Structure 1
Amino acid sequence: MRSRPLTRLLTAILCAVGMLGVASLSGCSETGASSASGKITIGFSAWPGWNVWQVAQEQGLFAKNGVEVELKWFDVYTDSLNALATGAIDANSQTLNDTLMSVSGGAKQTVVLVNDNSTGNDKIIAREGITGVADLKGKKVAVEQGTVDHYLLLLALAEAKLTEKDIELVPMATDAAVAAFAGGKVDAVGAFAPFTTTALERPGSRAIATSAEFPGAIPDHLVFKADVVRDRPQVVQGVVNTWFQTLAWIKENRDGAVGIMAKRNGVTVEDYKTYDSGTTIFTRQQNIDAFTPGTTPQHLNHQARLAADFLTSTGLAKNPPNLDGLFNDTFVKAVPE
């Protein structure tokens, strides 16, 4: 979840905007989502803030809001990004950084809902003997380049007056990075839940930095293809309404909801409960506040500028993403109070 091999994503984006000539030569898929019909297809993957969709489906709440939704689960988060970029699905649950990466490549996408902020479930985890970020100088740190955990690592290094040049960065996919850390091959790793659970099983390991220390830096969203938002706003509204009704159901049926979400993520109920404080699900008012332009960490436009700088300064994105029209607060504002 929440990691991205950049070459695959770039190919998908170029396919979506018609910049690669022949589909059969470029690897582009000709299969699209059924946006012309009544059904909407939403992608999601293994992150605590996105399991709410599973509850909505199992409790029949999409139908109660007049929308026909097909949920598509992705074992590999990257595949969900590619699916949205190529139009194979209508919407996806994804991070701000990944949305900006797609937009910088020419994809037309619109953020309509803030699912959550990571408030601890993204972590930099180090071996025994490393007690703080400053101790990472000269050490091997595994992380998937371009991911939110790479971003978190750079934020933590900067706070400790270090840069990426002060460590030995070992670029690896998140699951492989965690395996390398657990096997003693690297000194530290950047990862997200539920992979953090595996990393912390290494004897003596500890989290030396988490997303809780950088409020607002890692927001997660529901992102639609821009044409769906334009052409089918009533469907988008029904999906957004369903999200908040599902949150209300979860509040009243906590044990049942946790059971559903833990099963979807393939973890125990006990492990799932440990993720609660590390993912802050946004209320309607928190959504409205986040969409409102401003210059503090709670504002999406502010975080988008910071994340865009990260993507371009690291060379992950060649062009700055166009932020005009990226955030649409119409739907959260229209949710019945």
Structure 2
Amino acid sequence: MISRPRPRLLTVLLTLLTLAGVTALSGCSDSSASGGGTKITIGFSAWPGWFPWQVAQEQGLFAKNGVNVDLKYFDNYTDSINALSSGAIDANSQTLNDTLSSVSGGAKLSIVLVNDNSTGNDKVIARDGITSIADLKGKKVAVEQGAVDHYLLLLALQSANLTEKDIQLVNLPTDAAAAAFKSGQVDAVAAFAPFTSTALERAGSRAISTSAEFPGAIPDHLVTSQKLVKDHPKDVQALVNTWFETLTWIKDNKDAAVKIMAKRGGVSEADYKSYDAGTTIFTRQQNIDAFTPGVTAQHLDFQANKIIDFIVGTGLAQQRPSLDGLFDDQFVKAAPQ
């Protein structure tokens, strides 16, 4: 099984889609490879909503759209976040709360695409005998500290009038956290698919809270450096166009697509299909709606401010990040319908 956080997609695409490496931040490297002259390095890791990038690569869709992409897979999700923040890669697949944490630390980033929302594929899973979040008081809970499912865990604890101080937090990378829970070393784990499948192999285990209980709290994105947007807007547009073309290809080639994505995720095709309802892949129109300012969880600016209040209040961030330049909807608006 591969390691790292947040996977997302699958038959999800069969549901929603029916609606329809390393380069320096100071400048992308030049290359004469097919697909364009400027090489763009994109990071991604294990989450169903990001595996379509693997499909795009294997089907030659980046080159078809005139962009030269070095697609870099990270076994550890946090490493991919740090790579984007440090300028080691040009773009990355990551969540809104992780992006806000990076911006709080000084990173200059832009969200140019919403891949999906987590609607159940992030879970807090507990051993037999623990039936609610309230039962976690005093128990050992494994989670990748500072990453997306740490945020989910804190939200769940808050809903039960508990805080992190009420549990014994065991900080482990997500894959290791799931393995530790499976082997009985901890009482519970907070993880995302496909690592939830590993955790649920423990006899008697069950999900006691999921992202479905917190609508809109965990959106997933293609995030780029602001420098990439400024210096190479045509390439960014090509990336966004490729994404939507990939979703169409997946819709038209479901079995082949699931095979590619399950292989990348290190899970069976049956397991991959089981993630369906837990990941809501966004259409172009859903992207436009999300980027539009508003006062509900559907809107990124509203959700961002809720997340900022939370991560600052809980100490996950030391200062409020600026949202200037963060939400850039020009590319989804210009994408072919």
Relative to the length of structure 2, the TM-score reads: 0.88
CA contact (8 A) 1:45 1:93 kept: yes
Q: Secondary structure at the match of 1:180?
A: helix
CA contact (8 A) 1:34 1:40 kept: no
Look up the match of 1:90: 90
Aligned-pair distance for 1:163? Answer: 2.7
* Structure 1 residue 35 corresponds to structure 2 residue 35: no
Segment of structure 1 superposing worse, 144-153 or 99-108 = 144-153
Q: Secondary structure at the match of 2:203?
A: coil
Q: Secondary structure at the match of 2:277?
A: helix
Please list the CA deviations of residues 160-202 of structure 1 after superposition, one character each: whole Å capped at 9, or x if unmatched. 2333333333333322322221222221111111111111011
CA contact (8 A) 2:78 2:147 kept: no
Aligned-pair distance for 1:65? Answer: 1.2
Unaligned segments of structure 2, at least 5 residues: 7-21, 31-37
CA contact (8 A) 1:290 1:300 kept: yes
Please list the CA deviations of residues 123-152 of structure 1 after superposition, one character each: whole Å capped at 9, or x if unmatched. 000111112222222322222222221111
How many matched pairs? 312
Aligned-pair distance for 1:276? Answer: 1.6
Are residues 226 and 32 of structure 1, via their aligned partners in 2, closer, same or farther at CA, if it must alter by over 3 Å?
A: closer
CA contact (8 A) 2:29 2:40 kept: no
Look up the match of 1:336: 336
Are residues 33 and 94 of structure 1, via their aligned partners in 2, closer, same or farther at CA, if it must alter by over 3 Å?
A: farther
Q: Report the AA paired with residue 35 of structure 1.
A: C
Give the Cα separation in 2 of the matches to 1:182 and 1:80.
26
Q: Report the AA paired with residue 58 of structure 1.
A: E
Give the Cα separation in 1 of the matches to 2:114 and 2:223.
9
Percent identity for Structure 1 against Structure 2: 72
Q: Aligned ranges for residues 174-253 of structure 1 at < 5 Å?
A: 174-253=174-253
Give the Cα separation in 1 of the matches to 2:189 and 2:122.
11
Look up the match of 1:275: 275
Q: Secondary structure at the match of 1:158?
A: helix
Q: Aligned ranges for residues 292-311 of structure 1 at < 5 Å?
A: 292-311=292-311
Please list the CA deviations of residues 286-317 of structure 1 after superposition, one character each: whole Å capped at 9, or x if unmatched. 11111111121111111111222222222222
* Structure 1 residue 2 corresponds to structure 2 residue 37: no
CA contact (8 A) 1:143 1:150 kept: yes
CA contact (8 A) 1:33 1:88 kept: no
Are residues 167 and 76 of structure 1, via their aligned partners in 2, closer, same or farther at CA, if it must alter by over 3 Å?
A: closer
Look up the match of 2:290: 290
Are residues 30 and 270 of structure 1, via their aligned partners in 2, closer, same or farther at CA, if it must alter by over 3 Å?
A: closer
CA contact (8 A) 2:217 2:297 kept: yes
Q: Secondary structure at the match of 2:113?
A: strand
Q: Secondary structure at the match of 1:256?
A: helix
Look up the match of 2:11: none
Look up the match of 2:141: 141
Q: Secondary structure at the match of 2:128?
A: coil
Q: Report the AA paired with residue 136 of structure 2.
A: L
Please list the CA deviations of residues 239-259 of structure 1 after superposition, one character each: whole Å capped at 9, or x if unmatched. 101100110110010000000
Give the Cα separation in 1 of the matches to 2:234 and 2:138.
54
Q: Report the AA paired with residue 2 of structure 1.
A: P
Aligned-pair distance for 1:72? Answer: 1.0
- Ranked by relative contact order (alpha carbons within 8 Å, sequence separation 6 or more), the top structure is 2
Relative to the length of structure 1, the TM-score reads: 0.88
Look up the match of 1:125: 125
Are residues 283 and 31 of structure 1, via their aligned partners in 2, closer, same or farther at CA, if it must alter by over 3 Å?
A: closer
Aligned-pair distance for 1:285? Answer: 0.8
Q: Secondary structure at the match of 2:315?
A: coil
Are residues 333 and 32 of structure 1, via their aligned partners in 2, closer, same or farther at CA, if it must alter by over 3 Å?
A: closer
Give the Cα separation in 2 of the matches to 1:166 and 1:87.
37
RMSD: 1.8
Are residues 188 and 202 of structure 1, via their aligned partners in 2, closer, same or farther at CA, if it must alter by over 3 Å?
A: same
Please list the CA deviations of residues 240-287 of structure 1 after superposition, one character each: whole Å capped at 9, or x if unmatched. 011001101100100000001111111111111111211111101111
Please list the CA deviations of residues 88-131 of structure 1 after superposition, one character each: whole Å capped at 9, or x if unmatched. 21111111111111111111110000011111110000111112
Regions of 4+ moved over 4 Å: 29-34
CA contact (8 A) 1:118 1:212 kept: yes
Please list the CA deviations of residues 227-247 of structure 1 after superposition, one character each: whole Å capped at 9, or x if unmatched. 110121111111101100110
Give the Cα separation in 2 of the matches to 1:44 and 1:177.
20
* Structure 1 residue 107 corresponds to structure 2 residue 107: yes
Unaligned segments of structure 1, at least 5 residues: 4-28
Give the Cα separation in 1 of the matches to 2:288 and 2:24.
35
Give the Cα separation in 2 of the matches to 1:176 and 1:66.
39
Q: Secondary structure at the match of 1:169?
A: strand
Give the Cα separation in 2 of the matches to 1:171 and 1:242.
36
Aligned-pair distance for 1:320? Answer: 1.3
Look up the match of 1:150: 150
